[in-house]
Amino acid sequence: MKHDTPLRQLLTVCSVQVAINENALAKRACYNVFRREKFGYASCR
């Protein structure tokens, strides 16, 4: 899994923002993105 895609960057940014802000909207947006990409909720918690 060596995908240097914007999605991968989004994963990092999203995870960091969720961890810092504990923002429900951020969590939901992140969850939707990873659910669509089949990473699962665990990838963005």
Residuewise pLDDT in 10s, the chain (45 residues): 455 566 677 777 766 766 666 667 767 777 777 666 665 555 554
Cβ neighbours around 33 below 10 Å, total: 16
Q: For tokens 């961890």, what's the residue?
A: 19
**For position 5, what pLDDT does the model report?**
66
**DSSP at 19:** H
Helix extents (H) in 4-44: 6-21, 24-36
**For position 20, what pLDDT does the model report?**
62
**For position 1, what pLDDT does the model report?**
46
**DSSP at 39:** -
**For position 3, what pLDDT does the model report?**
54
| pTM for this prediction | 0.29
**For position 29, what pLDDT does the model report?**
75
